[in-house]
Chains A and B, each alone.
Chain A
C-alpha cells in the first residue's frame, strides 16, 4: 500500500501534471516542451545579460570601462565557458530557442482556429479535427529545425572554441 496524492503539497502535484505528458498525445508533449523551453530560455537570457554585463564593468556599466578590463573579462569568460558542459548547454539552448519559436508560431495559428480542421460529426477511430495533419506537421517542423539548430550550434562551438 502506498500513500498518494491527496495530502501532498499542491505545488508538487501542479509541477507533476505540468511536466508529465503521459499518454495524452502529441499536443500534450508540445505543451510540456513549450513551457519548459520558455522557462529555460528566460533563465538563460537573464544569465546571459548578467554575464555579458561583466565585459563592460558589470553594474558600473554607466562609467567608461577601460579596454583592458573588457579584454580581461572576455578572456576570463571564454576560459570559464570553454568546457564540454557549457558547450552542451549552449547547444541545448539553441535547440530550445528554435523549438520555442517555431512551435510558438504553430500555437498562435492554432489559437485562432487556423491550421485546425472544421467541426464535423464524430466518427469512430478518426482523430478529432483539432489534431489536424497541418498543425502536427508544423510541430514536427519545429522539432526538425530544433535538432538542426542543436547540431549547428555544436558545430559552431567546435569551430570557435576548438581551433
Chain B
C-alpha cells in the first residue's frame, strides 16, 4: 500500500546570502522506505538540485546524518512509516558549517579528533610498526573499551550536544569518547599525554552531562559515559 507523506526539507545555497528556506515535497511511501529513500526520490523525480550525502545505505558509513523531526538520526536508518507522521521535517546537522542543503562540513569533528591524538600510542614505535609478538587482552580488558569501538563517526552526537552549540571550542562528545577509547585500551601507552590534552576548559570539564549524545547514537555507543570516565582519569592525572 502506498501512502503520501509530505517532506519539509531544509534548502540552503551559500550564494543566496546565507539564508535557508524550507521546501515541501510530497513523496509516495511504501513499507520499508527510509528517509534516505524519500530524499533520493525527491532528487530523482521532484527536485534534482537537492544535495544529500550518503554512501552505504545500511548505517555503516555514517555519511547520511540529518535531523529528522528535530532529532539527529541516520537517514538510511530511519523508516518513514515508523515515524507515524504525515509531515516530516528534514534538516542538516547542527554545530557544523553548512555546505549545501543537507550536507555539512565534518572538518571540525575530525580536526578535534586529531588534536586529541585518537590513535594507539606506544613508546616503542619500532615494535609498533614491526611487532615481534602478539599483544593479547583479557575479556575484561576488552570490555573496558569495546563499546566505544562501535563508533562510525557519523557526527550525530556532536550535532546533538548543547554544549558545542553554546561553546564551539568544546571538543565535543565524539572526539572525547574516542580519546577515552584509546585511554582505556591496555595496549595504549599515551594515557598521560592524552589526559593532559583533555584536562582543560574546552575538554572534559565543559561537559554538563546533558546525555543527548548517547540518546541519538545509532550504534549504541555511550559518549556521555566515556566523557565522565575520562574526567575521572584526568582528575587522577
Contacts and interface: CB of A to CB of B under 8 A. Distances in A.
B49 to A, nearest CB: 15
Contacts of B214: 27, 128, 130-131
B211 A131 contact: yes
Interface in B102-131: none
Contacts of B70: 22-23
Nearest to B228: A113
A124 to B, nearest CB: 8
Interface residues of A, number: 41
B217 interface: yes
B166 A18 contact: yes
B12 A17 contact: no
A121 B146 contact: yes
A43 to B, nearest CB: 19
Interface stretch (A71-79, A86-94, A104-112): A104-112
Interface centre among B22, B215, B232, B235 (most CB of A within 10 A): B215
A63 interface: no
Contacts of A130: 209, 211, 214, 222, 224-225, 228
A130 B211 CA distance: 8
Interface string A105-136: 00100111100111111111010111100000
Contacts, number: 137
Contacts of B69: 23
Contacts of B147: 119-122
A7 B226 CA distance: 35
Contacts of B23: 1
Given A7-B17, A22-B70, A27-B211, A128 B225 contact: yes
B115 to A, nearest CB: 22
Contact of A17 (B98, B143, B165): B165
A2 B88 CA distance: 15
A28 B224 CA distance: 12
A24 B216 contact: yes
A49 B214 CA distance: 41
Given A3-B20, A28-B215, A111 B231 contact: yes
B215 A6 contact: no
B141 to A, nearest CB: 12
Nearest to A110: B209
A25 interface: yes
B145 interface: yes
B62 to A, nearest CB: 15
Interface in B197-212: 207-212
Given A3-B21, A23-B71, A119 B166 contact: no
A4 interface: yes
Interface string A27-63: 1101100110000000000000000000000000000
A156 interface: no
A2 B20 CA distance: 8
Contact of A34 (B19, B208, B226, B228): B208
A30 B212 CA distance: 11
A17 B168 CA distance: 13
A7 B209 contact: no
Given A27-B215, A31-B210, A6 B98 contact: yes
B80 interface: no
Given A27-B210, A118-B143, A122-B221, 8 more contacts: A18-B166, A24-B71, A24-B215, A110-B228, A111-B207, A128-B221, A130-B222, A131-B211
Interface of A: 1-7, 13-14, 17-18, 22-28, 30-31, 34-35, 107, 110-113, 116-124, 126, 128-131
